[in-house]
Amino acid sequence: MLGEVWPEPNSSAAGSRTMQLIEQFQKLNWKVTFACAAADSNFSIDFEKHGIEKVTIELNNSSFDDFIKTLQPSIVLFDRFMIEEQFGWRVAENCPEALRVLDTIDLHCLRLARQQAFKEKRNFTQEDLFSDVAKREIASIYRCDITLMISAYEMELLQSFFNIDASILHYTPFLLNPINSNDLANWPLFDARANFVTIGNFLHEPNWNGVLYLKEEVWPLIKKELPSAELHVYGAYPSPKVTQLNNSKEGFLIKGRAESAHEVMLNAKVCLAPLRFGAGLKGKLIDAMQCGTPSVTTTIGAEAMHANLEWSGIITDDLQSFAKAAVQLYTDKTSWINSQNKGVDIINKVFNKVDHSQLLIDRIITVQTNLLSHRQKNFLGSVLLHHTISGTKYMARWIEEKNKKV
């Protein structure tokens, strides 16, 4: 597995996703090596404890060629398309028979296009997807043998808008254990909970924007109706611009990194996620449902999260309606319990670990067994790989030589 960053499951949903995949691979007794060029993190997993080989690699350095040639993996998984751009051609040259898998985490071109439309104060349209990022991301998808999509919405978008063949795509959402009777029995009841909560890595722009929106527009409306309530804001990597939003008089409390997202969620009464742009699946809303905490979110927040099932709370894009929904869930016990039950239904039916993990492993083995014919059917991918090796390869070589002189 080639990562953009070292996995931090307690910091982001992406980190949790990575560990979910590793868990399934290890169940098959596959040896997992995780390689990354990022600086070490104090919050990443204990690799030795998890039985994962950790290797630090360098960008634009032929030492990677020696590493991958010696390792000779049968499968290489790229964490995000930027990593495939950097290392994909090296893998293809040195381990041509290795199955190349891309995990997009979320569709970057969709998230960034929505973000740009938001900044320009206009509605997002699919024409916004025609961007340089989209060209890079789609090219990466074609160069790989299988691309894992976490969002059913994005899976459909790639096929209907970009005309990508389903044979090189595979839907794998979060892989979660079902909520059982023991879990339900351990959840704090309505009357034992207090306050609102929101959580999310502050390095992720949609999360920061959502917190700012809460502070400036949403929370004042809620606080007016519930003067004794507090909003607890958790998230990894809070910058000074985040911490300065803390205001105890307003009940708007910046808590920073949560040691346990689940503990935070279990004690809260309602989760707020007013996301105005973004993509993929929202970890905070998964955490909320796993802890029996109803939520108020937007269309973007709930996108691809609940299939055709009713939401575990209320979905609205209107400011006044959002605040009103938050107050209603916080004060109406019947509505709160009904929403909690819907969350159980969503987790157990949409994100069932057993079903989705088996489908994933079956797909990997099938493609790996028929790799030559699979690649022949994806001729455009071969064309893009050929030109990438011809172009990116020599750019990387030039950078490597330039760095030697420095």
Q: What is the pLDDT of residue 403?
A: 80
> Which neighbouring-strand residues pair with 163?
none
Pair 340, 294: CB distance under 8 Å: yes
Please give the pLDDT value at position 394: 67
Neighbours of 204 (CB within 10 A): 20
Contact 272, 197 (CB under 8 A): yes
Return the beta strands (E) in 284-406 as ranges.
295-297, 313-315
CA dist., res. 241 & res. 219, Å (int): 18
- By C-alpha distance, which of 331, 281, 279, 290 is closest to 312? 290
What strand order describes the sheet that includes 169-171? 53-56, 33-36, 2-3, 75-79, 99-103, 146-149, 169-171
Domains, the chain, in order of start with CATH, read 2-176+353-405 (3.40.50.2000), 181-350 (3.40.50.2000)
- Quote the pLDDT of residue 390: 64
Torsion sign, CA atoms 45, 239, 110, 198: positive
- Per-residue DSSP letter, 67: H
Quote the tokens at residue 175.
Answer: 């892989």
The pLDDT of residue 290 is 98
**How far apart (Å, rounded) are the C-alpha atoms in residues 353 and 23?**
11
The distance in angstroms from the start CA to the end CA of the chain is 30
How far, in Å, CA of 280 to CA of 282, rounded?
7
**pLDDT for the residue 399:** 75
Contact 271, 265 (CB under 8 A): yes
- Assess contact for 247 and 216: CB atoms under 8 A: no
Per-residue b/e over 287-310, b at no fewer than 16 CB within 10 Å? bbbbbbbbbbbbebbbbbbbeeee
Q: What is the pTM of this model?
A: 0.93
Q: Given this model, what pLDDT does residue 391 score?
A: 65
DSSP line for 236-294: SS--HHHHTT-BTTTTEEEEES-S-HHHHHHH-SEEEE--SS--S--HHHHHHHHTT--
Beta bridge partners of 76: 100
Phi-psi region of 229 (alpha: psi -120 to 50; beta: other; left: phi over 0): beta
Query: Quick one: DSSP state of residue 6?
Result: -
User: What's the confidence (pLDDT) of residue 404?
Assistant: 76
- Cα 96–chain centre separation: 29
* pLDDT values of the chain reduced to their tens digit, one per residue, 406 residues: 999 999 999 888 999 999 999 999 999 999 999 999 999 999 999 999 999 999 999 999 999 999 999 999 999 999 999 999 999 999 999 999 999 999 999 999 999 999 999 999 999 999 999 999 999 999 999 999 999 999 999 999 999 999 999 999 999 999 999 999 999 999 999 999 999 999 999 999 999 999 999 999 999 999 999 999 999 999 999 999 999 999 999 999 999 999 899 999 999 999 999 999 999 999 999 999 999 999 999 999 999 999 999 999 999 999 999 999 999 999 999 999 999 999 999 999 999 999 999 999 999 999 999 999 999 999 999 999 887 766 676 677 777 777 876 6
Which pair of structure tokens corresponds to residue 145? 């043998």
Chain-centre distance for alpha carbon 69: 30
